[in-house]
Structure 1
Amino acid sequence: MTYEKETADLRIVGESFDTSGNELEIHADMANFPSAEPSSFFAEVKPGVSADEFAQKLAAVVQPLGGDATTVPPSEQKGVILIMDAMAVLLTLMLVSVAGLGVLNSLILDTRERVHDLGVCKAIGMSPRQTVSLVLASVTAIGVIGGLLGVPVGYALHRIVMPVMGRAVGTALPSPVLDVYGPGQLLLLGLGGVVLAMLGALIPAGWAARARTATALRTE
């Protein structure tokens, strides 16, 4: 590597996950280039010290010398990370909405086909609460199957899609960014399939519970 008139042999030891700049940068020891002078300094305040107050006091000292001091937001809150988080949230909401509407549509058709059977059950004493429980129980298996299939597929897609998203914005993603799902979180995601199925079934279950017994019995 050559800096002005000085040349040094550098050994690449890794990649730094830094999204603060838009250009490729090399992080190296300044001892390799004695004539190089730093243009900025990064300081980390102690716990309990206000970074804004520290920056203001420091700026008052260095501004007469032609410098300045300001606070830097945490790197995880900067451009690339915010964009990726927003895309992940948007995709999640879209998938949840589509899955919930799919369950709702299927269960409305199924409930209308079974309305006569529900009328018979209500005629022999089934209460509205029991009717709701019966309809919700019918989608539990769908939720379990969806969780068992969706979690492994989603986990695999996460390992494929996230690096592609990173390369699209010009950065590689280290393992701490990708390895974010533990066994407990995967279990909760699997249970989310059951919860989503039940949420989608609430409207048909409420309709079945409110349907009059005589009207249901006359429906074929």
Structure 2
Amino acid sequence: RGRTAVRLTARLPLPRPLGLGLARPFARPARAAAMVAAIAFGATAVTFAVGLATSLNRVQDARDHDKADVTVDALPAPGPNGAPGRNGEPVPPREVPGGPPRITADPAAITAAIKAQPGTRAFYATATTQVTIAGLSGSTELHTFAGDASWANYRKISGRWFDKPGEAVVPTQFLAATGTRLGDTVTLNHGGTTVRVRIVGEIFDPRNQGMNVLTDAATTAPARTPADSYRIALEPGTDATAYVAALNSALGSLDVTAHAGPSGGESEMIIVLDALAGLLTLMLVAVAGLGVLNAVVLDTRERVHDLGVHKALGMTPRQTVAMVLASVVVVGLAGGALGVPAGLALHTAILPAMGHSAGLTLPTTALDVYTPPELLLLGLGGLLIAVAGALLPAGWAARTRTATALRTE
């Protein structure tokens, strides 16, 4: 009957209705355990869904490698079979081994204009071409960088970013396809020139099915590929619109265009997955809340005579509601304490498996998405589920007339 719990809670510095409510779960341990399981199930679903949505958004952010405050497109003239560029403008196709050179603006003049522009914090130039790799069929994209590209939006998985010519970073798929690992050397055939690079880092880069090599532009000298774009980071507080207008004025004679962004908008697929995860989570939380509702209704119906005695002794409707809600506080906290670690473990197991199924190793930033304050709030979510499930029975108990309750056996 939980009389020992009642005597113990009576010693707590709490109003008596709250003490009576806190002792209620100990009168029906099996029922209380069932409520804890239901709440833990809901807390697990919420924790996993929050982690999944955050991870997917961070993966989408990690895929957007073109993030910059301002971008300068250095390929002004379309070539044969030109394809639409980022702003809908035609751009020449990428250079292929043995193909004609691309027409680009004077890189020295573009660099000088960017350096002279007030508000420039950092910038780098990037170019993309096709190379072949000894022992590997097909072609691989080679991305070269001139300038400090360490602030570029490439998420590291292991190793480090290259810091001198002859070093390169590659995606996980490249390592798997070539059978290499960090510290190994690969041979690139670039425009009839053989270049050897040492792999110093593994990055998250699913472009071109992960068959990419990123290195310093000086690595491919003298067969260096002209830059096709420049990424610029602005000083804090700089007006991007005014900066773009001033830079375009300085670049006018070079027939190239600067524009803000790209913005890196959220993928429609990520939005759909977030919405689906949210809907399923709400359904699971509703199921958990109904489990609490069922248990509290049974408990209140069984003890309606005791409720009548309390009312006869002067318990007000507000105190009755407080007593019923207090009866689920312990189970709510226990369910949250069990559900949050379970949801965290589920996230830790499933997210890497999702990446591996696609041949990807997800960056650490996409996996470590929980902070201690968030985990604390998610744990309190179990209490919220319990209280929400007990509100209806609490209202029914508060409205029950004293005489009706006392006649009930």
After TM superposition, the score normalised by the length of structure 1 is 0.80
1:209 to partner: Cα distance: 0.7
After superposition, give the CA deviation of every residue in 1:52-79 in whole Å (9 maximum; x if it has no partner): 332344345546644332222565x543
SS at match of 1:13: strand
Q: How many residues align structurally?
A: 218
* Residue number in structure 2 paired with 1:200: 389
Residue 154 of structure 1 and its aligned partner are, at CA, apart by 1.2
Q: Percent identity?
A: 52
Give the structure with the higher percent strand. Answer: 2
Q: Which runs of 5+ in 1 are unaligned?
A: none
Q: Does 1:111 align with 2:300?
A: yes
Determine which of 341, 345, 350 is the counterpart of 1:152: 341
Shift of 1:137: 1.4
- Please provide the CA RMSD for this pair: 3.0
Partner residue, 1:130: 319
Give the deviation of 1:139 after TM superposition. 0.7
The question of 1:69 aligning with 2:258 is answered yes
Residues 85 and 4 from structure 1, CA distance in 2 versus in 1: closer, same or farther, beyond 3 angstroms?
farther
Change (3 A) 1:157 1:49: same
The worse-fitting range, judged by mean Cα deviation, of 52-61 and 143-152 is 52-61
**1:84–1:165 contact (8 Å) kept in structure 2:** no
* Closer/same/farther in 2, CA of residues 30 and 62 from structure 1, 3 Å limit: same
- 2:333 counterpart of 1:141: no
Distance 1:73 1:100 in 2: 44
Structure whose residues are more often helix by fraction = 1
Listed as ranges, the matches of 1:3-152 within 5 Å are 3-17=190-204, 21=207, 23-24=209-210, 25-34=212-221, 35-62=224-251, 65-72=254-261, 78-79=266-267, 89-152=278-341
d(CA) in 2 for partners of 1:64, 1:84: 46
Aligned CA distance change for structure 1 residues 60 and 98 (closer, same or farther; 3 Å)? farther
Distance (whole Å) between structure 1 residues aligned to residue 349 and residue 283 of structure 2? 19
- How high is the TM-score relative to the length of structure 2? 0.47
**CA–CA distance in 2 between the matches of 1:73 and 1:104?**
50
CA 1:49–1:98 in structure 2 vs 1: closer, same or farther (change >3 Å)?
farther
- One-letter identity of the residue aligned with 1:149: L
Which amino acid in the other structure matches residue 200 of structure 2? V
Structure-2 separation of matches of 1:153 and 1:208: 34
Q: Which of 178, 187, 191 does residue 380 from structure 2 map onto?
A: 191
- For residues 248 and 393 of structure 2, the distance between their equivalents in structure 1, rounded to whole angstroms, comes to 64
Tell me by how many angstroms 1:129 deviates.
Answer: 1.4
Shift of 1:164: 3.4
The residue that corresponds to 2:118 in the other structure is: none
Structure 2 gaps, min length 5: 1-187
Deviations 1:111-138 (A, max 9, x none): 2333232122212221111111111111
User: Residue 218 of structure 1 corresponds to which residue in structure 2?
Assistant: 407
Secondary structure, in 3 states, of the residue corresponding to 2:198?
coil
Mean Cα displacement is larger for which, 119-128 or 38-47? 119-128
